[in-house]
Amino acid sequence: MTKNFTELVFATMNKNKLSEVQKMLENSDIKVYGIEGDFNPEETGATFEENAFIKAFEAAKITNLPALGDDSGLVVDALDGRPGVYSSRYEQTDEKRNNKLLRELENVEPGDRSARFVCSMVIASPDGKKLFSTTETCEGEIALFPSGRHGFGYDPVFYLPEKNATMAELTMEEKNKISHRGKALGKTVKWLVSGRNS
């Protein structure tokens, strides 16, 4: 399979993520589809990239089309990289996850609270080839308390020193410009549209 495919499946049940990708590719000759029905492959990978590939390959097999998979999470240095690939399974709700994180960092000084959001995006073919892969990060620190109402997940406790704000205090447009997911999506779209039909 060459890169000149005109159809791509995004291996996600998240309608916001799907429309974001569709919007970025609306002026290209690539049509992006979501995945129908229940799609929840087991995320058994040890890395974000492995999990992104698992999702992409599963969707590609089901649809017989090339598929994009993504996986993301929060890596905290003082916790040896946790919650990492377990970010969504760390606790049952966003509030509980954030409280647990703050509790675990209770005795960690402001200078030692470095963390990063990580996002991997992988495009796989139905025969299991990895056609493209990128992993992007957004560096910050874990705040001392939650702040802000935008975004989701760990955004209220993720402090960006250069913005003097948490991720949840940024608008969606501001977040997309600097976020791990925004950067990974930018690289993916660039790869998809570059050198086509050549």
Q: Examine residue 98 and tell whether it contacts ligand IMP (CB under 6 A).
A: no
167 CA to centre of own chain: 15
Is there binding between residue 154 and ligand IMP (CB under 6 A)? yes
d(CA 72, CA 121): 9
Task: Please state the length of the chain.
Answer: 198
Which range binds ligand IMP by CB under 6 A, 59-67, 121-129, 145-153, 187-195?
145-153
For residue 45, the 8-state DSSP code is -
Of 29, 38, 70, 71, the catalytic one is 71
Among 20, 49, 71, 169, binds ligand IMP (CB under 6 A): 71
Q: What is the DSSP letter of 77?
A: G
Asked if 11 is part of the footprint of ligand IMP (rule: CB under 6 A), the reply reads no
CA angle 155-161-165, nearest 5°?
45
Three-class SS state of 54: helix
Among residues 146 and 153, whose Cβ is nearest to ligand IMP? Answer: 153
The angle at the Cα of 25, spanning 181 to 120, to the nearest 5 degrees, equals 25
66 vs 69, which CB is nearer to ligand IMP? Answer: 69
Q: Give me the residue whose beta carbon is nearest to ligand IMP.
A: 153
Q: Which stretch binds ligand IMP (CB under 6 A): 29-37, 67-75, 140-148, 189-197?
A: 67-75
Angle at 47 between CA 39 and CA 116, to 5 degrees: 105
Among 59, 87, 125, 160, indicate the residue that binds ligand IMP (CB under 6 A). Answer: 87
66 binds ligand IMP (CB under 6 A): no
The continuous run of DSSP H or E covering 33 comes out as strand 31-33
Query: Which residues would be at the binding site for ligand IMP (CB under 6 A)?
Result: 70-74, 87-88, 117, 151-155, 167, 179, 181
**Residues marked as catalytic:** 71
